[in-house]
Amino acid sequence: MLKVLGIKNFALIEDISIEFTDNFSIITGETGAGKSIILGALSLLLGKRADLSSIRDSEKKCVIEGHFSVGKFNLQNRFEDLDLDYEEETIIRREILPSGKSRAFVNDTPVRLTNLSELGVHLIDIHSQHETLSIANPDYQYGILDTVAQNFEIKSTYIDNYKLLNQYRKEFEVLKSRQDKADEAYDYNVFLLSELTEANLRLGLQEELEASQSKLSHVEELEEKLGLSFQQMDDESVGVLSQLREINLNLKKASKLDPSLSELSQRLESIWIEAEDISSETQSQLEALDADPRALEEVNDKLQTIYTLQKKHHKSDIEGLLEVKDDLEEQVSVKDNAEKEIKKAEKLITDQKTKLLSLAKALFESRTKVTKKITNLVESMLKDLGIPDAKLVIEGKFDADFTLRGGDSFQWMFSANKGSEPQDIKRVASGGELSRITLTIKSLLAEYENLPTIIFDEIDTGVSGDIATKMGAIMKRMSSSLQVISITHLPQIAGMGKQHLKVYKTIANEKTQSNIMVLTEKDRVVELAEMLGGDKTSKSALAHAQSLLK
What is each CA distance from 507 to 18, 21, 31, 33, 34, in whole angstroms?
20, 29, 16, 12, 13
Band the pLDDT of 132: cuts 50, 70, 90.
Answer: low
At residue 299 the predicted structure's pLDDT band, cuts being 50, 70 and 90, is: confident
pLDDT of residue 429: 76
Using DSSP bridges, classify how beta strands 499-508 and 511-518 pair: parallel, antiparallel or unpaired.
antiparallel
Cα–Cα distance for residue pair 434/323, rounded to 1 Å: 71
Mean pLDDT, range 503-517, rounded to an integer: 89
Q: Nearest-CA neighbor of 360 among 396, 407, 405? A: 407
| Average pLDDT score, the chain | 87
| Average pLDDT of the residues in 356-374 | 96
Q: Tens of pLDDT along 24-68?
A: 999 999 888 888 889 999 999 998 888 777 888 888 999 999 999
User: 332 or 488, which is more confident?
Assistant: 488
Per-residue pLDDT of 383-429, as tens digits, reads: 988 899 999 999 999 999 999 999 999 999 999 999 889 999 888 87
Predicted pLDDT at 407: 95
Q: Are 182 and 335 in contact (CB under 8 A)?
A: yes
The pLDDT of residue 131: 63
Burial of 246 (C-beta count, 10 Å sphere; 0-12/13-18/19+): exposed
Q: Which fold has domain 1-123+452-519?
A: Rossmann fold (3.40.50)
pLDDT at residue number 291? 65
As a whole number of angstroms, the distance between CA 49 and CA 405 comes to 28
- How confident is residue 328, by pLDDT bands cut at 50, 70 and 90? confident
pLDDT bin (cut points 50, 70, 90) of residue 338 is confident
Give, in order, the Cα–Cα distances in Å from 237 to each of 234, 242, 269, 276, 282: 9, 7, 19, 16, 19
C-alpha distances (whole Å) from 489 to each of 40, 533, 543 are 18, 11, 19
**Residue extents of the structural domains in the chain:** 1-123+452-519, 178-337
| Backbone phi and psi for residue 111, each to the nearest 5 degrees, phi listed first | -135, 160
Pairing mode of beta strands 24-28, 483-487: parallel
pLDDT of residue 237: 67
Q: Are 412 and 394 in contact (CB under 8 A)?
A: yes
State pLDDT tens for residues 105-131: 999 999 999 999 999 988 998 887 666
Condensed to tens digits (0 to 9), the pLDDT of residues 211-262 reads: 877 776 667 777 777 777 777 777 776 778 778 888 888 888 888 888 888 8
pTM value is 0.67
